[in-house]
Structure 1
C-alpha cells in the first residue's frame, strides 16, 4: 500500500511497533451550545464524548493494518443546540481531517465540513453500535448518530487513500454509499436524501462516485503526491503540479458548476493554496489568483493579494 510506504518515511520512530492500530486518531468534543440552557444534565455530554471517541478510534474501518504513526489525524466537534425530549437532541457536527506531507512536519487539510442536520437519541452510558449489514438498527434515532459518524469516517479514509494512490478511496466511498442507501429514516432525521438539500451527505457521496467528477480523484492524487509531497525536492515542480490541478478543477467546474465536491476542496485548501502561490513567479502568481478567484468565489477577496 503506497500510503504505508510513504508514511514509513515520516514515522521512523514507530516502524518497530506492531501495525495493529486502527485507521483514525480523532479528537472528539461534544459541546452544549448556550441556547440549550439547563434543560439537560451536562454529564450526559461528557459520557457521549467518551463513547464517540471510542467508537471512532477503537473500531476497525478497513482491512488494512495501520501502524500507530500512520493513523489519520481528524477532529469531530458535536455542538448540541436543542433538547427535543425523550433523550433526543439536535446538533451540528464539524469534521476536519489532515494528511501528512512527505519529509515535513506539515499536515495538509483534506476535509473541513460542517453537517447541520444531526438529530439523535442518546441515553447516558448506552453503547454506540453500528452494523454495516443493518445500519438502521433497532431505533432510527439511536442509529442515526453512528450512521453519520461511520459515513464521515469512510469519507475521511477514502480522501486520504485518494491522496496516496490513484482512485485509492473508491472502496471507502462505496461503503459511504451503502450507509446513504440504508440510512435511518424518521421524524426529524434528514441529510441522507437528494431532495433534502443540495449540500448534504447524499451529495457528498454522489459527487465522489459520479463519473462526472472522476477527474476530482486525479486532482486529489496529483495535488498531494505530485504537488505537496514533491515540494521538499523541487518546489517549482510541485507548484506546477498544483497549478495543473487548478486547471483540472476549472474543467470540472465548467462542466458541473457550483458542485459540492469542488466547494469542499477549497474549504479545506484555500489558506494552503494562498501560501503555495504567494512566492510563485509573478506570471504564475497572477494566473493562480485568477483561477482561484473564479473557482472559490467566497474567498475571492483573499486571493486578490496574488494579483
Structure 2
C-alpha cells in the first residue's frame, strides 16, 4: 500500500512540474553533402532531449499546456567540431475555442557558429556562459516563453525576457556574432533590447490585445474579435511613428503577416480600408499580402 501511494504521489508531482516546451528539433545537413554523418543525428537527438526535458521556469505546466515550437538548424559547413549554421525558430499558441494554433514567434537567426563534440553534455547555467550553442538555444527558449506569456497576460513575459537579456550579456564574452550592439541592427542583442525598451512599449501591449482580446474572442463573436485585432494592429502605428521601420516590427509581421491576411479575407465583414492603409505604412515589406485583403 505504501509503495502504491509513493508511486501515485510521484505521478502527481511529475504532472504538476511538467516541462514547458514541446519542441521539434531538426538538424539539416544537406548543404554539407554529408547529411548522413552520425554526428548530426546525435546533435539532433541531444538537443531534443535537452530542450524538452529541462525545467526552464518555476511555473507548473500541465502536459496539454506545453508550448509547441520548432527549431531547424541548417548546417552550412563544418570542420571537426566547428559548425557554421543558421537557426530557424518558430512557436505557436492555441486559440481558445478552436483547434487553430496561432504563430507567435518566427525568427531566422543567421549568425550561428558553434563548437560541438559528439555526445558532449549540454549544461545550462542561468548566470554563466557555457558555450555559444547552449547560449543560442536557451536565448530563443526564453524568447519563446516570454512572447507566449505576453499573449496570455499583460507584460506576462517579463521574467523570461530578463533571462534572455542575461544570456545576451554574459554571452558577449564570446566572439560569436549577434550578442553585441556592434554586430548590427538585426541581432539577438537588438531584439531583446527592443522588447524590454519603453520606446517599443506598444509591441507587448499589442501581443496581449491581439491574442487574448482578439483571437481568443473570435469563437464567441467572430466580428468583435476581428475588430479587436484590427484595433491592436492600429496601435502599432504609434510605435512606428516613434521608430519607423524598426526591427521589432519586422519580427512581429514575420510571424503574423500570413495570419492577418487570412483573418481579414474571410468570415464576418469588417471595415478594412483603414487597416490596409495602416498595414501598408508600418509593414510595407508585406504589401503584396495586404493587397490580397479584399473581403
What TM-score, normalized by structure 1, do the two folds share? 0.88
Task: Please say if 1:29 is aligned against 2:17.
Answer: no
Note the C-alpha offset of 1:19.
2.3
Note the C-alpha offset of 1:293.
1.9
**Structure 2 counterpart SS, 1:306:** coil
Q: 1:116 aligns with which of 104, 110, 113?
A: 110
For residues 78 and 197 of structure 1, the distance between their equivalents in structure 2, rounded to whole angstroms, comes to 22
Q: 1:150 corresponds to which residue?
A: 138
Q: 1:19 aligns with which of 16, 19, 44?
A: 16
Note the C-alpha offset of 1:125.
0.8
Note the C-alpha offset of 1:305.
2.2
Note the C-alpha offset of 1:285.
2.1
Structure 1: runs of 5+ lacking an equivalent: 1-14, 138-142
- 8 A contact 2:17–2:59 mirrored in 1: no
Give 4+ residue runs of structure 1 displaced > 4 Å after superposition.
280-283
- 8 A contact 1:98–1:109 mirrored in 2: yes
Q: 2:39 corresponds to which residue?
A: 44
Note the C-alpha offset of 1:302.
1.5
Note the C-alpha offset of 1:82.
1.1
CA gap of 1:245–1:128, structure 2 versus 1, over 3 A, is same
**Structure 1 counterpart SS, 2:58:** coil
Structure 2: runs of 5+ lacking an equivalent: 1-11
* 1:1-307 mapped onto 2 (5 Å cutoff): 18-34=15-31, 36-38=32-34, 42-83=37-78, 85-135=79-129, 137=130, 143-183=131-171, 185-187=173-175, 189-279=176-266, 284-307=271-294
What TM-score, normalized by structure 2, do the two folds share? 0.91
Note the C-alpha offset of 1:184.
5.1
Note the C-alpha offset of 1:130.
1.3
For residues 113 and 298 of structure 1, the distance between their equivalents in structure 2, rounded to whole angstroms, comes to 16
Note the C-alpha offset of 1:237.
1.2
**Structure 2 counterpart SS, 1:278:** coil
For residues 127 and 107 of structure 2, the distance between their equivalents in structure 1, rounded to whole angstroms, comes to 27
